[in-house]
Chain A
Amino acid sequence: MAVMTLDVWLYGDLTRYGGDSAGPGYANPKVQLPEGATVAELLTYLGLPTDERGITFINGDLSAMPGLQPDLSHSLKDNDRIAFFHLTSMWPFQYRHGAAMIGEMKEAMFSSDDQGLHHAYDGPNKDERE
């Protein structure tokens, strides 16, 4: 089976899942996986539990937010850049409105009642809204 190389970026306290850190507060391992492997398979390879990651990007497209992870079965391609953020990171709504998202994320956001116009998608904030 063909092998692909992924450009993986891990930030903050997720750095520890990336082997040697590349610099203070981040790691940038190049990961080889069988072509077509999913985000879930990449997380397994890294040993990173999916609930420890928050905001996630695939090639600059938003693919997950804390508590909203529609990207687990998203297939990755050779040379994809995947970035995983820790749960204390943030991307306020006003600074991401109109930004690029993977198809699965668009669908998940716009099918929700509030159309994704929030800052956080999990924990006490989510309960409060329901």
Chain B
Amino acid sequence: MWFVRVNMTDLSASIEEAPEAYKILGGRGLTSTLVAQEVPPKSHALGPNNKLVFAPGIVTGTSAPTSARISVGGKSPLTGGIKEANAGTSWAADIAVMGIQALIVEGFPKEKGKYWGISVSMDGSKPKVEFFDATEYAGKPLPQVFPDVYARFGDRISICSIGMAAEHGYGNSGVVFNDQAKRASRYAGRGGLGAVMSSKGLKLIVLKREGAPGVKIVDHALFDQGRKNMIEALRTHAITKPKGGLNTYGTAVLVNIMNEAGGLPTRNFSSGRFEGAPKIAGEAIFETNKQRIGKELYNHACSPGCIIQCSNTFHKPDGTEHTSCLEYESDWALGADCGIDNLDQIAEMNELCNNYGLDTIETGVAIGAAMEAGVIPFGDGAGAIDLVHQMGKGTPLGRILGGGAEMVGRAFGVTRIPTVKGQAMPAYEPRAVKGIGITYATTTMGADHTAGYTIAPEILGVMGKQDPLSPEGKAALSRAFQATTAFIDSSGHCLFIAFAILDIAAGYQGMLDECNGVLGTNWTAQDILDYGGKILKIERAFNEAAGIGKEADRMPEFMKTEPLPPHNQVFDVPDEALDSVFGDL
């Protein structure tokens, strides 16, 4: 296994054997460990001392199902804290089979305005890095970039890049990877890591996997057994099975659910219910596609080896493709949070976010905040599309929006700004669903819906003895959820395996066996919790040293004072309960 270090100061690369001490680390576990060790916490996120770390998961690149995730880590320009964002893409599988455990981008370009690309290929058993001038690819929407890169390097490559949002240095800018149809659509979206990559003068990382040795598996029999159990769990669970919830309606299947629950944040988090929700929901996407292309359209895989296949496409009235993928979070942020109920307008904004390299959640919430400020009215789809263009083009207003929701609040004097640690809140209203609020408040990542996802069934059995609705019970559960999730983010599995592994004990054991098979470890469910807990502690220590301590683990003030219709609840989890999440870790 290799650590590839790319130095953007002198355009050099070093290929080192990965240290033995890091052998069991992958994905988020490895990015967060390296960032914590090598980046001074008080350094500027866009300065010479930050680093950008890429790491595939432990089982990524193997035949383990739904496991082609790549973690991207660094200090976030949006939150000022540690950040890990991950994406499903063939790029993840490719870097893993090339034996690269981590790719670390460091240094700082001497020349401003110039962009470089690197291509990584195999030189015998060792990876090789070559630099090329990529300035010609800058300043363009990504659909004009990816085809040229494929034409230059051939079809059998994977691409990592950044868009114009990152070139502008926005806190709202993601790192993008190709999907299976060569679209620039798979984002490690949150926290502004695109801007970190741009600050290094790095525009493209092209992987050429030809001749790659593949991922070493220590115990093949155990791995195969785990893999079979995981496949079986994913294929039988109602949510993850073929033509199940995610494959049919995509993640936007949650729009109507959250709306009926009174927890769909609407018009900049002023209501939990949006009257236009049914028109933009997963069911509406499915039916609209059916009307427009004349047949039922089930979703596709974002990356090789995925069984769940939740990525959708949305089609224009003439049947041609408009955008992929219109996720729940994107659909909500660009729709309900802006009071927009027109799927064609939402699809256009989603496509523009993909093209400019913007995080859809931060974009929608920033526009919602601008609507609150009166920049354009709520529900103004055409106006919102124009604002996304302004973000891409870098007009003064676009740059304020590109700084994220909190920056919009500061620029326009808006007090209702739904952020934690500077990051916009996703699509689950914490006043209606208080459990998620605890995770939003306390996660090291800033408000993040993917930070607390699941737990081992056997750990759950122990937890269940606490009152899960008491503040202490919720805090304990959030802690266990966050630790388990940190492990899944390290394993390389997509978080959507969570549904199957929580409900099907053999599925959970399958995940353990896959990891134990690859690494030769003997992990149990408790070990997983400990592994995840260690990652959380590392991240937490980095944040504290960066000046982001427990006083930042708080919800915005308005959520404690403004009751949210229709349930008319405030967020009333006491600070002590929030503090206990990490205090008792």
Asked if chains A and B come from one complex, the reply is: yes
Please tell me if B454 contacts chain A, counting CB pairs below 8 Å. Answer: yes
Instruction: Decide: A119 near B284, CB < 8 A? Known: A11-B278, A59-B566.
Output: no
Contact at B283–A26, with CB atoms within 8 Å? yes
Contact at A90–B239, with CB atoms within 8 Å? yes
Please tell me if B294 contacts chain A, counting CB pairs below 8 Å. Answer: no
Instruction: Decide: A62 near B498, CB < 8 A? Known: A23-B284, A119-B239.
Output: no
Instruction: Decide: A114 near B464, CB < 8 A? Known: A11-B281, A98-B469, A119-B502.
Output: yes
CA distance A25 to B249 in the complex (A): 11
Contact at B263–A99, with CB atoms within 8 Å? yes
Could you tell me which residues of chain B, from 236 to 269, have a CB within 8 Å of some CB in chain A? 236-239, 243-246, 248-249, 253-254, 256-258, 260-263
Please tell me if A30 contacts chain B, counting CB pairs below 8 Å. Answer: no
Report B-chain residues with C-beta under 8 Å of the C-beta of A118: 502-503
Residue interface mask B276-313, A partner, CB < 8 A = 1: 00110111111110010000000000000000000000
Instruction: Decide: A119 near B499, CB < 8 A? Known: A25-B286, A88-B248.
Output: yes
Contact at A24–B435, with CB atoms within 8 Å? no
Main secondary structure, interface of A, reads loop
Name B496's closest neighbour in chain A (CB-CB). A92
Report B-chain residues with C-beta under 8 Å of the C-beta of A114: 460-461, 464
- Stretch from B180-188, B426-434, B515-523 that touches the partner: B426-434
CA distance A96 to B272 in the complex (A): 14
CA distance A99 to B433 in the complex (A): 5
Contact at A120–B283, with CB atoms within 8 Å? no
Name A66's closest neighbour in chain B (CB-CB). B238
Please tell me if A47 contacts chain B, counting CB pairs below 8 Å. Answer: no
Contact at B464–A117, with CB atoms within 8 Å? yes
Contact at A120–B237, with CB atoms within 8 Å? yes
Please tell me if A100 contacts chain B, counting CB pairs below 8 Å. Answer: yes
Could you tell me which residues of chain A, from 65 to 120, have a CB within 8 Å of some CB in chain B? 66, 81, 83, 85, 87-100, 110, 113-115, 117-120
Please tell me if B481 contacts chain A, counting CB pairs below 8 Å. Answer: yes
The distance from the CB of A111 to the nearest CB of chain B, in whole angstroms, is 12
Contact at A88–B262, with CB atoms within 8 Å? no
Report A-chain residues with C-beta under 8 Å of the C-beta of B254: 90-91, 95
Contact at B452–A117, with CB atoms within 8 Å? no
Could you tell me which residues of chain B, from 77 to 119, have a CB within 8 Å of some CB in chain A? none
When the two chains form the complex, which single residue of B256, B453, B455 contacts A26, counting CB atoms closer than 8 Å?
B256
Contact at B436–A94, with CB atoms within 8 Å? yes
Please tell me if A22 contacts chain B, counting CB pairs below 8 Å. Answer: yes
Please tell me if B567 contacts chain A, counting CB pairs below 8 Å. Answer: yes
The distance from the CB of A92 to the nearest CB of chain B, in whole angstroms, is 6
CA distance A113 to B452 in the complex (A): 22
Please tell me if B504 contacts chain A, counting CB pairs below 8 Å. Answer: yes
Instruction: Decide: A24 near B287, CB < 8 A? Known: A118-B503, A128-B503.
Output: yes
Instruction: Decide: A91 near B261, CB < 8 A? Known: A11-B283, A60-B566, A98-B469.
Output: yes
Main secondary structure, interface of B, reads helix
In the complex, how many residues of chain B place their beta carbon closer than 8 angstroms to a beta carbon of chain A?
64
Instruction: Decide: A88 near B238, CB < 8 A? Known: A9-B260, A26-B284, A57-B261.
Output: yes
Name A121's closest neighbour in chain B (CB-CB). B503
Report B-chain residues with C-beta under 8 Å of the C-beta of A9: 256, 260, 278
CA distance A60 to B257 in the complex (A): 10
Instruction: Decide: A25 near B245, CB < 8 A? Known: A90-B257, A100-B432, A117-B468.
Output: no
CA distance A26 to B276 in the complex (A): 12
Please tell me if A124 contacts chain B, counting CB pairs below 8 Å. Answer: yes
Please tell me if A125 contacts chain B, counting CB pairs below 8 Å. Answer: yes
Instruction: Decide: A23 near B468, CB < 8 A? Known: A66-B238, A91-B254, A119-B503.
Output: no
Report B-chain residues with C-beta under 8 Å of the C-beta of A89: 245, 249, 253, 256-257
Please tell me if B538 contacts chain A, counting CB pairs below 8 Å. Answer: no
Please tell me if A49 contacts chain B, counting CB pairs below 8 Å. Answer: no
Contact at B454–A87, with CB atoms within 8 Å? no
Name A115's closest neighbour in chain B (CB-CB). B464
Please tell me if A19 contacts chain B, counting CB pairs below 8 Å. Answer: no
Could you tell me which residues of chain A, from 14 to 34, have a CB within 8 Å of some CB in chain B? 22-26, 28
Report B-chain residues with C-beta under 8 Å of the C-beta of A59: 566
Name B461's closest neighbour in chain A (CB-CB). A114
Contact at B248–A117, with CB atoms within 8 Å? no
Could you tell me which residues of chain B, from 435 to 464, have a CB within 8 Å of some CB in chain A? 435-437, 439, 449, 452-455, 457, 460-461, 463-464
CA distance A97 to B432 in the complex (A): 10
Contact at A125–B236, with CB atoms within 8 Å? yes
Residue interface mask B22-53, A partner, CB < 8 A = 1: 00000000000000000000000000000000
CA distance A66 to B244 in the complex (A): 14
Please tell me if B477 contacts chain A, counting CB pairs below 8 Å. Answer: yes
CA distance A88 to B196 in the complex (A): 40
Report A-chain residues with C-beta under 8 Å of the C-beta of B278: 9, 11, 22-23, 25-26, 28
Instruction: Show 11 A/B contacts (Cβ-Cβ < 8 Å), sorted by A.
Output: A12-B286, A55-B257, A62-B261, A90-B253, A92-B239, A95-B254, A95-B436, A96-B433, A117-B477, A120-B239, A129-B457
Chain B residues near A (Cβ < 8 Å):
236-239, 243-246, 248-249, 253-254, 256-258, 260-263, 272-273, 278-279, 281-288, 291, 428, 432-437, 439, 449, 452-455, 457, 460-461, 463-464, 468-469, 474, 477, 481, 498-499, 502-506, 566-567
5 pairs of A and B residues whose beta carbons are closest in the complex: A97-B435, A25-B283, A24-B287, A98-B434, A60-B262
